[in-house]
Structure 1
């Protein structure tokens, strides 16, 4: 398409569809548009007629399905073109402002995005605050009225004095005197600076101040010309009457052409917000009518477009998504993120404390030996007055009361009933001739069943579920160790070698770890990795969804910011938060709770940090596929436990079925957790395979999540 040299924006036979091929809704129908350089173009139409969609196509946020829009001679988004970018100022329908920012911070943010120096920003800030009658520049946006917020939004669009200014409903809720002042300024900059202005408005009559107007209905351009020429052509005294006349003519034409079969047709629900139900019906009708006129569906349009010029798609993709990030934009976005954090110092402090609280709770509540376990004891030997001696008391004295607390019962049945009622974890029973049976067994070497039975401590334990079973295992371990000490003491008193009662297994000094391993040392490395990983997801996932929902990401993209720049800036800022979190985590785990870390502390910190980057990348991926906060919560929470349980954090992967062990290799935690254990428990360095593979695995997952998130953001554009 050849654009006239004096045109800022030009579109010919432009079509835009939403939805899939079989349920496609045409939003823009054969649009012809020409906006001369240095003129004000008023785009008029009711809500839902496609004005916002057309504006998004002009600034490069949407691609047409047929034909192409040229802005200053180039398609928007072309390499080297500053649209989107500094050459366009855009004010959306929603305010799209950071509510916790001051007016000055808001203007400085967009000034930095457009690479303006501080002096120029201050000059423009002073002018715009005075011109738009804004409150003090130190006032927060959240403290402003709706009309004042819209004026701040307008100031952000005017800040860099762009070549193309697009204003979507800028005068809604504005005082009539200020509205007149805004129009005077727009007329002045269009004439003095040759700024091209496209403005949409509900106030049709105020559009008479525009040099050229376009009247839209149901995604079609009904008329386009100078206001005075339109009034003369249709012999009306107001643009509103002209618009009403054109709408009536258009409606009559549609009713004459509407096939009977389309009047009760199905409606597609995958339609953007700027298409309302009333217009949807006419849109569907018009699409049906024009199928006979060889208007192509989206898939066919794209196919024909690529057949005519197969390099268009490749060039556009390279231009939009594979340009190098600009440092001034990353810096501006970093300053923005830091400002957001400064406005929530309390929440920032809580973020620092979260890993400390979690690791403290874990170390205090997990892996410790149970203490003060209530047990019932039935000592028949004591009840019968120790007829053969009192070795039973000697045995009971070997049992640590800090671990097991005994309550004596004179009747065995009552002791059993107390356990059944849930008052005790079990019954320990000693028979009446226990002492004599012990002597017969150890000194006379009698091994008949009666002697063996009477010389034993009989346990009746509650093992009804997994929790009780774990306590029961602890009880058995304590009693077995105490019994072994008791037997050795008895043998020593008779000058017999006590090693006779040692089991036929000799446990030498372990190659790694301690003779008596602690579950805490097994689980803590995995938990430290997991805590940072899941906290990092929260640092990135929710904030992007909120910015998308409030139109902030859209405005940044139109300002020329790329998805990669947004993601990099966000990760860099969160890098410092994460470093502090990790340091607190390591200090509390290693120095306060004595979690064993035999290897390099620095290597441990680096591994946890890399895993944190992986979590942030995963959060970005979640934000790229979710639209609402509740969706983020569901995806994040729904993925925490599958990843946690299948990664060997809580239980060794060797205890899983073979299929699950294979699948565990494909979680982002399994190999980094194993690497962390090797560093902490074995003292391994980076030279060992399991250690460096943990780093490589975490880095690969991070890069994969990041790239997929960037692609999804680009595709969702």
Structure 2
């Protein structure tokens, strides 16, 4: 017998092991066997021990009552049994294998778990909640409906169409119990299932549990702080402060301690345990940094009892110490990530996500409108030349009644009033003072002999300083706004050039004389008059979808983890990859519509020129959206709270946006920033998008297909990291 158990403890996680224990009547299988279990929380320098050397034996087909006050470690022990937590030391064998072993259905269909919290989707109806778990367990529709009908009647639940949020607390707990009973599991773990229930319904539930344990050989572990209620169990385990005080049949415990109630037995054991703790107040720290109580193996206050005789066969089962626990965690995480996804689970998760969306149609419509609003605001507010720029005008010729002609008026008439709006001043100092007050962006000053100076310069070809000074417009500008300053100078220079050409033509002189010695030929790509909007819009479309995609996935897992919804799905056998794939597939359709609407508005409404294949541009945007969703999953994997997600997501928006060349060309950045910009998820994708939109390039060009490759690589990288982190944290 000892050899068999030692062989079991040396078995790899993937191999099946069968634990048996010898009783007076022969051999009997154990559904759950926990030996010398230790569980710590926190870091080694600041840890808290939740389980102290706990041993628990649950034979197949019995009801096992796990009793103890809140915080004594009952829930932690259950989570270790279903594979949600790893023991720091010890062994747990459930239905013949370690939880989480390859091919094992724990977690999975073999176990039904009802947590302390209801862990239900509040916007779901009762029927939708049961169908979700039914699909996860690969039950067909007729089986789900049959079980649903029975559970609604048995648990006295309202109509199946009633939403969870509309139910009372007790009714929600009954729905949670129904989800645990749905697939008729081999092992049923119920954490405080009868809290707040009507006494008649509580008795009805206990009768049903006794019935299925006898007829279906269902093994049931039920935790409760109603100690006398557990007298109906076949075996009970009494826990306090993470220690198992006693484990036996209720009647035998009463006889052993010569007391009339389990509550009295528990009180007696608590008193003895407290005395024992005071006697053994010294602790030793093992090589893993775990703090252990120095407890004797034969101490009657902390027994590890045989299933039938109540003896402690410590010599038959050696303690399993997981010295390389991080290595084991990494190996189990790798296994979790590499398990081939099951389509029925992905389908169930997709239906669940679609149901959540269906319950929030208004928010869904808003999600479709967000990219339209953002691209519309961008096209309306960004890239247009400033209009109606106020400039103070000091025209000395006009003040003095044009003593030398009216060429200054001809020049001013060439300036587009839609771009520059002049306000005349009779005093130059007053005009400059108005600019200093912030009323104008500059002063345009024309000397009183401007017309004469122009004629002397162009006709008489005089180039003395006095003539050059008189024939010029003197600008005193507020240069604090680069774009406004650039437009002011550009408009006045272009208008002056047109004025000079007209003047030369009127004097039979070739107007080409006024052209600068630069000839701009027809451009290879783009137009001679290029709009900033055509430069910035492609990158902005990529950025909008990328950052919206982050919002689609970043908060989902944090919220579900916090409310216990994700953990319950994991206990039902769902893997990390299945959860992530289901979310991405569902969000795929939302993103698809967002991209179509955004591209349509940009191209048709705001005339953003798309020279290349529109479908190719949309495909690149879509792949970048997948990258954003993967990045959102990664953020969700590293964060625990909603506030942390918001800080990380918002904190990464501007660094990525500004360093990717979306708003300003990369050529305008310092060399070190240009180098670092190569390592953002947007830089090369934005460059590829501009090549498609402005140059009509296709996949035969390096920059285009490299953008697709980079986007796909970032997507795979974020997805893989998120999957690994989720698996490690499971």
Same fold (TM over 0.5): yes
Give deviations 1:406-444, integer Å, cap 9, x for gaps: 111111111111111111111111110111110000000
Q: Conserved in 2, the CA contact under 8 Å of 1:167 and 1:198?
A: yes
**Alignment match of 2:378 (pick from 356, 362, 379):** 362
CA distance in 1, matches of 2:521, 2:158: 78
State which of 121, 144, 148 in structure 2 corresponds to 1:121. Answer: 144
Structure 1 residues 228-243: aligned runs within 5 Å? 228-243=251-266
Give the match for residue 86 of structure 1: 109
The answer (yes or no) to whether the contact 2:38–2:88 under 8 Å persists in 1 is yes
Pick the aligned partner of 2:267 from 235, 239, 244.
244
Alpha-carbon offset, residue 305 of structure 1: 8.2
State which drifts further: 312-321 or 665-674.
312-321
Tell me which residue corresponds to 2:470: 454
User: Equivalences for 1:461-480 in 2 at 5 Å?
Assistant: 461-463=477-479, 465=480, 468-480=481-493
SS in 1 for 2:55: strand
Deviation sequence 1:568-609 (CA, Å, 0-9, x none): 000000000000000011000111101111001000000000
Unaligned runs of 5+ in 2: 9-18, 21-27, 299-319
Identify the match of residue 419 of structure 1 among 428, 432, 435: 435
Aligned to 1:287: 292
Matches within 5 A, 1:188-337: 188-259=211-282, 287=292, 289=294, 301-303=321-323, 316-317=332-333, 319-337=335-353
1:52 corresponds to: 75
Match of 1:640 in 2: 653
Higher alpha-carbon deviation: 22-31 or 682-691: 22-31
Contact residue 90 and residue 322 of structure 2 kept, 8 A: no
Where does residue 541 of structure 1 map in the other structure?
554
Task: Specify the alignment match of 1:482 in structure 2.
Answer: 495
Structure 1 position 313, deviation (Å): 7.2
Q: Which residue in 2 is equivalent to 1:442? A: 458
Shift of 1:48: 1.1
**Alignment RMSD (CA, Å):** 2.0
The separation in 2 between residues aligned to 1:209 and 1:319, in whole angstroms, is 40
Counterpart CA distance in 1 for 2:399 and 2:338 is 87
Does the CA contact (< 8 Å) of 1:17 and 1:28 recur in 2? Answer: yes
Structure 2 partner of 1:269: none
In 2: Cα distance, 1:443 partner to 1:304 partner: 94
| 2:52 maps to 1:29 | yes
Q: Is 2:709 the partner of 1:696?
A: yes
Structure-to-structure mapping, 1:156-195, within 5 angstroms: 156-195=179-218
C-alpha deviation, 1:705, in angstroms: 0.3
- Say yes or no: does 1:707 pair with 2:720: yes
Distance 1:180 1:31 in 2: 30
**What secondary structure is seen at the aligned counterpart in 2 of 1:31?**
strand
Q: Is the 8 A contact 2:280 2:295 kept in 1?
A: no
Aligned residue pairs total 683
* 2:121 corresponding residue in structure 1: 98
> What does residue range 578-593 of structure 1 map to in structure 2 within 5 Å?
578-593=591-606
Contact 1:78–1:319 (CA under 8 A) maintained in structure 2: no
Any conservation in 1 of the 2:280–2:293 contact (CA below 8 Å)?
no
Structure 2 CA distance for aligned equivalents of residues 288 and 423 of structure 1: 80
Matched, 1:625 2:638: yes
CA distance in 2, matches of 1:292, 1:181: 40
Deviation readout 1:69-102 (Å, 9 max, x if unpaired): 1111111111111110001000000100000000
* Residue-by-residue CA offset, 1:247-285 (whole Å, 9 max, x unaligned): 1000011112224x99xx9xxxxxxxxxxxxxxxxx99x
Q: Distance in 2 between matches of 1:338 and 1:516?
A: 48
Contact 1:16 1:65 in 2 (8 A): yes
State whether residues 378 and 415 of structure 1, in contact with CA within 8 Å, keep that contact through their aligned partners in structure 2: yes
CA distance in 2, matches of 1:314, 1:100: 36
1:356 CA displacement: 0.4
Matched, 1:512 2:525: yes
- Give CA-to-partner distance per residue, 1:345-401, whole Å, 9 cap, x none: 000000000000000000000000111111111100011011110000000000000
Alpha-carbon distance in 2 for matches of 1:621, 1:632: 10
Residue 20 of structure 1 is matched in structure 2 by 43
Contact conserved, 2:329 with 2:728, CA < 8 A, in 1?
A: no
Pairing 1:342-421 to 2, within 5 Å after superposition: 342-421=358-437
Rounded to whole Å, the distance in 2 between the matches of 1:323 and 1:88 is: 19
Q: Report the secondary structure of 1:216's partner residue.
A: strand
- Output one character per residue of 1:608-655: Cα deviation in whole Å (capped at 9) or x when no partner: 000000000000000001111111100000000000011111111111
Question: What residue is the counterpart of 1:69 in the other structure?
Answer: 92
SS at match of 1:510: coil
User: How many Å apart are 1:129 and its aligned residue?
Assistant: 0.7
Give the TM-score taking structure 2 as reference length: 0.91
Identify the range of structure 1 (26-35 vs 700-709) with the bigger mean alpha-carbon deviation.
26-35
TM-aligned CA deviation for residue 47 of structure 1? 1.1
CA displacement, residues 272-313 of structure 1 (integer Å, 9 cap, x when unaligned) = xxxxxxxxxxx99x73646999xxxxxx9433789xxx9x77
- The residue aligned with 2:671 is 658
Q: Please state how far the C-alpha of 1:318 moved relative to its aligned partner.
A: 5.6
- Residue 568 of structure 2 aligns with which residue? 555
2:311 match = none
Q: Which residue of structure 2 aligns with residue 568 of structure 1? A: 581
Q: Deviation per CA, 1:297-340, whole angstroms, max 9, x where unpaired?
A: xxx9433789xxx9x77874564332100000000000000000
* Alpha-carbon distance in 1 for matches of 2:519, 2:377: 36
Q: 1:202 to 1:480 in 2, by over 3 A?
A: same
Q: Residues 321, 665 of structure 1: CA spacing in aligned structure 2 closer, same or farther, 3 A cutoff?
A: same
Aligned to 1:296: none
Check if 1:153 corresponds to 2:176.
Answer: yes
- Deviation string 1:426-471 (CA, Å, 9 cap, x unpaired) is 11111101111100000000001110111001111111x3xx2221
Per-residue CA deviations over 1:182-217 (Å, capped at 9, x if unaligned) read: 101111111111110000011111000100000011
Q: How does 1:682-693 map to 2 (within 5 A)?
A: 682-693=695-706
Counterpart-to-counterpart distance in 2, 1:227 and 1:183: 16
CA distance in structure 2 between the aligned counterparts of 1:568 and 1:374, rounded to whole angstroms:
56
Change (3 A) 1:386 1:314: closer
CA–CA distance in structure 2, aligned partners of residues 343 and 218 of structure 1: 43
Q: Which moved more, 1:618-627 or 1:313-322?
A: 313-322
2 CA distance for matches of 1:349 and 1:355? 11
The 8 Å contact of residues 77 and 319 in structure 1, kept in 2 or not, is answered as no
Partner of 1:40: 63
CA distance in 2, matches of 1:302, 1:215: 26
Give 3-state SS (helix, strand or coil) of 1:48's partner.
Answer: coil
